Amino acid sequence: MLKLLILDRDGVINYDSDAYIKSVEEWIPLPGAIEAIAQLSKAGWTVAVATNQSGIARGYYDIATLDAMHARLRTLVAEQGGEVGLVVYCPHGPDEGCDCRKPKPGMLKTIAEHYKVPLAGIWFVGDSLGDLEAAKAVDSQPVLVKTGKGDKTQAKNLPVGTLIFDDLAAVAAELIHH
Ligand SMILES: O=P(O)(O)OC[C@@H](O)[C@H]1O[C@@H](OP(=O)(O)O)[C@@H](O)[C@@H](O)[C@@H]1O
Ligand SMILES: [Mg+2]
Ligand SMILES: [Zn+2]
């Protein structure tokens, strides 16, 4: 069976900002995150991404810029000998009532359907409560990292069973070495 790991983007792979990540220049990997994805990939994991990007709906940046950020992610991981799987984003605003914006699980379902694997038990790594709730909604495993908004999120009422790690590197170490 495919070893699938799903990651949130901002605050997990790259630094987040309350001013949104609006350009490739603002898209800066967190320490160890690129290496973690490459190591997971080389260890046989398929690493997919599910990210809210309401900045598109808000007009802060366009799809071409978003694609350039994701091309950069792929390039950096490839330089470490790994690869990034499907990247799914929700470009909608909070008031559009779409099915893909977390905490709705639509993006997780899209990824699972793409790879033809069940979502039950799949680890979804995020820094926001909405990430964890999206996981819980489809019986995936909510995993919180303390990077990005994770420190603040940890103080909230987390879904039962949420696993907590310092950062993506710690998640990768757990999955690769256990
Ligand atoms: O963490 P992921 O899902 O990869 O992306 C989060 C971003 O889309 C942005 O999400 C926004 O929330 P609103 O969309 O404005 O509620 C804010 O939290 C921003 O700080 C953040 O950069
Ligand atoms: Mg995030
Ligand atoms: Zn959406």
Amino acid occupying residue 114:
H
The whole-angstrom separation of Cα 90 and Cα 146 is: 23
Helices 106-115, 129-137: axis angle to 10 degrees equals: 50
**Which of ligand 1's atoms lies nearest the C-alpha of 20?**
22
The mean pLDDT of 150-155, rounded to a whole number, is 98
Whether 153 lines ligand 1, by a CB cut-off of 6 Å, is no
Distances in Å between the Cα of 163 and the Cα atoms of 44, 48, 111, 117, 139 are 22, 19, 21, 21, 14
pLDDT in tens, 70-96: 999 999 999 999 999 999 999 999 999
Long-range contacts (CB closer than 8 Å, 24 or more residues apart) made by 154-157:
156/129
Whether 154 lines ligand 1, by a CB cut-off of 6 Å, is no
Q: What is the ipTM of this complex?
A: 0.97
pLDDT of residue 93: 98
Whether 90 lines ligand 1, by a CB cut-off of 6 Å, is no
pTM (global) more than 0.90:
yes
Q: Are 119 and 129 in contact (CB under 8 A)?
A: no
Catalytic residues, which ones? Answer: 8, 10
Continuous H helices in 11-105:
33-42, 54-57, 63-79
pLDDT of residue 1: 87
The alpha carbon of 17 and the centre of ligand 2 are apart by a number of angstroms equal to: 10
Q: In the structure encoding, which two tokens stand for residue 119, read together?
A: 């979502």
